[in-house]
Amino acid sequence: MTLPGKPRGRLRAGLARLTGPQRFLLAGSFLIPLGSFAVLPFMSVLLHERLGMGLGAVGVVLAVASLVQFSGGVAGGAIAGRLGLRRTMLLALVIRTAGFACFLPGLRHPAAAVFALLLVSVGAALYLPANKAYLIHAAGEEQRPLVLSASSSALNAGIALGPLAAAPFVLSASAGLFTAVTVLFAAITVGHALLPAEGPDRGDEPGAGAELPARRTRAFAGLAVLPFATTVLSLYVFMFFQHYLALYAVPRTSTTYYGLVLASYALVLVVAQPLLSEWIARLPYARALWLGFGAMAAGMATLAVGNGVAIMAGALCVCLGEVVLFFKNDLEALARSPRAPAVVFGHQRLAAGIGAFASGIVGGEGYRLAERSGGAGLFWVAVAAQCALLPFLLRPLTGPKPPRRPRCRGRRSAVTARGRRGRGGRPGGGRAASGTCGRTPRWARR
């Protein structure tokens, strides 16, 4: 059921209908990245400056950890299908809590720090698919966009605030910081143990359609190809922005201004996604691709100007592209795949990992070549050109537009539909006299 009123009123009404477990998981969606990003953004500083690891070794460690965190989502979805959603989340949180605890001896021993980082990455890979699947299990089809967008906003708020809260303590009071994060994750783990086990603890709950038969449930059976490919390419272009904006912006403005850009980006992301969730859910997928990649292209091209105003405006355009693309890709993957939601989100995490990995390989050399060729602004022009081309490359995958469903106008339309079939029509072929349409949810239409 679509809630009446303006978007802000519908958002408040939708949030008021959330269940207790959903509210707890949304709070966790803020606290978990808050604790994680109090530590993880500073790992290069910890490994290099405090533990004396070479920058090459640090790069390899961080690349492997990122690959495990993203690509492990496929294994996380499969494990959730066997253990159940709640038990998978508990296992993931136990592993992550142990990982943060291992950072305490890791302050003196590089091997322990690397092991701790890998544990944290494994826990993230296991947790996220099961968490999203649990969140939407109790939600109706019309409520799913709101729940997913609220979870994403909470996660981005935690990501934005974590580094700011931890920055004064990372080097001066590292042991206290890691202890506090470990205690936070232990408390979150206890809270997850109290979640209800019935229903969502089953790993075989269907996704958009019925689960595939057992003989076909291989890891990539039922893969939603277009959302998977779009997520790969979305992360590929987005991670250029994520990795190289600081390198580009700080010398041209200041660290304070760069912090303001990041804070503005996070604020817009947190506020805009829930407010726009219903509109994005109704967008046809092809139009969402044009809008999302178009906003990213405009943002990357604006960054090339290089002054403070252009950097802020470009970042906000990229933010709009992220809001549309990342959210719409998840909704489309759920709608197009017959697999359980945890498996679908695992596929999406793998796609994100592939895109981020490819961006990391291409980006460093590309940025160096752009600077040698006359300025780093050329790097952003090249990224903008790729963003503009991607909708054309993805167009063959969209296929023909499906025929429109006949509109349902209740009992009278049902009788008319049956009458058109004539006497030779199939028994029971018309719509029921009650006027039900058998419609798919509006957000799942393409």
Residue 405 has pLDDT above 70, yes or no: no
Q: 55-71 and 73-83 helices cross at what angle (nearest 10)?
A: 40
Locate tokens 């272009």: which residue?
A: 237
Residue 390 has pLDDT above 90, yes or no: yes
State the DSSP string of 358-424: HHHHHHHHHHHHHHHTT-THHHHHHHHHHHHHHHHHHHHHH-SPPPPPPP--THHHHHHHHHHH-TT
The 10s digit of each residue's pLDDT in 316-361 is 999 999 999 998 998 898 888 888 887 888 888 888 888 877 887 7
CA–CA distances in Å: residue 97 to residues 274, 285, 374: 30, 39, 47
In the predicted model, what is the mean pLDDT of residues 262-266? 82
- Kindly report the pTM of this predicted structure: 0.66
State the DSSP string of 208-256: SSPPPPGGG--TTTT--HHHHHHHHHHHHHHHHHHHHHHHHHHHHS-HH
> In the prediction, which pLDDT does 257 show?
84
> In the prediction, which pLDDT does 258 show?
79
Percent of the chain with pLDDT over 90: 27
Residue 400 has pLDDT above 90, yes or no: no
> In the prediction, which pLDDT does 147 show?
82
Spatial separation of the C-alpha atoms in residues 274 and 321, rounded to whole Å? 15
In the predicted model, what is the mean pLDDT of residues 277-290? 91
> In the prediction, which pLDDT does 396 show?
77
> In the prediction, which pLDDT does 140 show?
66
pLDDT-based confidence at residue 11 (cuts at 50, 70, 90):
low
**249 against 289, higher pLDDT:** 289
The 10s digit of each residue's pLDDT in 212-263 is 343 445 667 778 889 999 999 998 999 888 878 877 887 888 877 877 887 7
State the DSSP string of 55-94: HHHHHHHHHHHHHHHHHTHHHHHHHHHHH-HHHHHHHHHH
**96 against 406, higher pLDDT:** 96
> In the prediction, which pLDDT does 10 show?
64
The 10s digit of each residue's pLDDT in 143-170 is 777 788 888 888 888 887 887 777 677 7
Name the least confident of 8-17, 58-67, 291-300, 340-349: 8-17
> In the prediction, which pLDDT does 55 show?
59
Residue 16 has pLDDT above 80, yes or no: no
Kindly report the CA angle at 160 between 155 and 162, in degrees rounded to 5? 90
DSSP state of 431: -
**422 against 193, higher pLDDT:** 193
The 10s digit of each residue's pLDDT in 115-143 is 999 999 999 989 988 888 888 876 667 77
Other CB atoms within a 10 A radius of the CB of residue 35 amount to: 25
Residue 66 has pLDDT above 80, yes or no: no
pLDDT-based confidence at residue 425 (cuts at 50, 70, 90):
very low
> In the prediction, which pLDDT does 20 show?
81
Mean pLDDT of the chain: 78
pLDDT-based confidence at residue 311 (cuts at 50, 70, 90):
very high
> In the prediction, which pLDDT does 138 show?
66
Can you say how many angstroms the Cα of residue 384 is from the centroid of all Cα atoms in its chain?
A: 22
CA–CA distances in Å: residue 134 to residues 69, 90, 247, 340, 342: 19, 12, 38, 11, 8
Percent of the chain with pLDDT over 70: 77
